[in-house]
Amino acid sequence: MTQPPHPYPLKVGLFGIGLDTYWPQFAGLKERLHGYVDQVAARLERPGVEIVNLGLIDSPPRALEAGHALRRADVDIIFLYVTTYALSSTVLPVVQRAGVPVIILNLQPRSAIDYAAFNALGNRTAMTGEWLASCSACAVPEIANVLTRAGIAFHQVTGVLGGDPHVWNEVEGWLEAARVRQVMAHTRLGLMGRPYNGMLDIYSDPTLQAIRFGTHLQMVELDELADLRRDVPEAQAAERVALFHEHFDIQPDCDPAELTRAARTSVALDHLVTRHQLGSLAYYAESVPGHDNQDVMTSIILGCSLLTARGVPVAGEFEIKNAQAMKIMDSFGAGGSFTEVYGIDFDDDVVLMGHDGPGHTRIAQGKTKVRPLEVFHGKVGRGLSVEMSVRHGPVTLLSVVESGQSLKLLCAQGESVPGPILEIGNTNSRYRFPLGARGFVEAWNAQGPAHHCAVGVGHLAGRIQKLGALLGLEVVQLC
């Protein structure tokens, strides 16, 4: 079962700015600047992105029209290409009316003017026209001043239009951050059950999550999942067991009856997610012995792991904040597995981290094992669980930290390293950080996060910084 395509493409507004007074004075300048804007448009194009290219805005009346056009187009982000000197009055009406984040592209056509060729032109009008085709940096302070006075946040990319990897890495980062921001605003986060009793740090304000991320929080009933599970045909359960054998490394001591029990719950979970159009889920419940709901909750781990692997991250213990962190990481293509500190290996200077319950199997080192457990530690029941380590190599930790009426993003970059783990049927990894194990743990705890966080593969702090900027959230990067 795969996720349907996103019904709302990322809409990117693009416009360049110029000054209409220049066009009759400098032959070919307007056409040349249009060409620069078209080059940027071509670099922005990619699947899932719709470019709204308004070309060159060169007067206040055209700026007003452009603002209306971008607002009608429902753009998510604006790239403003400062192609030459232009009046700030050709910018303010556009970005005010559009009301979305603004990235200023301060891009020269070449890394430097050929001074000898320039000065040899011999015609000062031609020389001035040539300079105007290269003076992107001239208008940026004026625009920055006006946007700052208007209380409009902006971000900058400075460099060369062609052959400058820094520029396009930055642009790619802003596009990815805008896409993830849009995913979060269109995600339906299912809430099923209740928080783990007494874990005060994981209690969250759902309204605050909706306000800051735009996420819709959908209450779903455990009773509904139990009803769906009762209706799963034997043939579907058998097909799901076969899928388990393809996806997981089923250990020989796993009871076939437990696999069937987990398969029925997995199929029912898929139906629940489809019925409510969920993009993520936070859950926890205990029920009472002998009740259908307890049978569901003690057979849920494999199905939740499959959901997480296909882009519907599932957070246990009703950890809403961490479901958000996992969704962010997964939307960046990094995975996003539920984890917490398990201990410190001072001899190897690594932090041991993992968690019971679902894991993100697409970022596992090797095939994820399924093991039977006689007890779910700290929880009711027994059954099957997953055991995996996060793929060795660079990783990023992310926590959505709630304090009073504010949220912030806390992240750290490190490395998943090989070595012995605790083979207890949980996700389990060894992480090394530039701060050292002791320094990392103290610095992380000092920021006041909940004890859960999300781990993903790759170093993503730069993109998380950009996402925070687009969301208006503080971002703390430890390493």
Number of structural domains (the chain) is 2
Percentage with pLDDT > 90 across the chain: 89
Quick one: 422 and 303 in the same domain? Answer: yes
Q: With 0-12 CB in 10 A as exposed, 13-18 as middle and 19+ as buried, what is 379?
A: middle
pLDDT of residue 26: 95
Higher pLDDT, 34 or 7: 34
pLDDT of 2 higher than 60? no
Which parts of 186-291 fold into alpha helices (H)? Answer: 206-213, 222-230, 234-247, 256-276
- CATH code at position 157: 3.40.50.10940
Report the mean per-residue pLDDT for the chain.
94
Model confidence at 373, pLDDT cuts 50, 70, 90, reads confident
Q: Please tell me whether residues 175 and 208 are part of one structural domain.
A: no
In a domain, 5, yes or no: no
Domain limit, last residue, from 163, 183, 203: 183
Average pLDDT over residues 198-208: 94
| Residues 164 and 25 grouped into a single domain | yes
Q: Is the pLDDT of residue 379 over 70?
A: no
pLDDT tens for residues 137-181? 999 999 999 999 999 999 999 999 999 999 999 999 999 999 999
Say whether both 146 and 196 belong to one domain.
no
| Domain C-terminal end among 183, 212, 240 | 183
Please indicate, yes or no, whether residues 294 and 361 belong to a single structural domain of this protein.
Answer: yes
Q: What is the pLDDT of residue 1?
A: 31
Q: Side chain identity at 214, as an amino acid letter? A: G
Number of residues written out for the chain? 479
CA distance 310 to 320: 19
Residue 272 makes CB contacts below 8 A (sequence gap 6+) with 190, 220, 224, 225, 228, 278
Rounded average pLDDT over 186-200 = 95
What's the pLDDT score for residue 5? 54
- The average pLDDT across 325-354 equals 96
Whose structure tokens read 């220049």? 22
Do 431 and 412 reside in the same domain of the chain?
Answer: yes
> Between the CA atoms of 40, 43, 47 and 52, what dihedral angle is there, to the nearest 10 degrees?
0
Amino acid at 152: I
* 424-459 confidence digits (pLDDT tens): 878 899 999 999 999 999 999 999 999 999 999 999
Contact 298, 380 (CB under 8 A): yes
318 and 352 housed in the same domain: yes
Specify whether 101 is located in the same domain as 78.
Answer: yes
Q: Residue 315 belongs to what domain range? A: 187-477
pLDDT value at residue 111: 92
Q: DSSP characters for 419-453?
A: S----SSSEEEEEE-TTHHHHHHHHHHHT---SEE
**Whole-number Å distance between alpha carbons of 228 and 14:** 47
CA distance 223 to 201: 27
3-state DSSP assignment of residue 42: helix
Domain identity same for 143 and 38: yes
Is 100 exposed, middle or buried (CB count within 10 Å of its CB: 0-12, 13-18, 19+)? middle
pLDDT value, residue 378? 62
Can you give the CATH number for the domain in which 204 is found? 3.20.14
b/e 135-156 (16+ beta carbons within 10 angstroms → b): bbeebbebbeebbeeeeeebee
Distance CA 56, CA 15 (A): 6
State pLDDT tens for residues 220-274.
999 999 999 999 999 999 999 999 999 999 999 999 999 999 999 999 999 999 9
Asked if residue 245 and residue 131 are part of one domain, the reply reads: no
Express each pLDDT in 382-418 by its tens digit: 779 899 999 999 999 999 999 988 999 999 999 999 9
Among residues 152, 183, 214, which one ends one of the domains?
A: 183
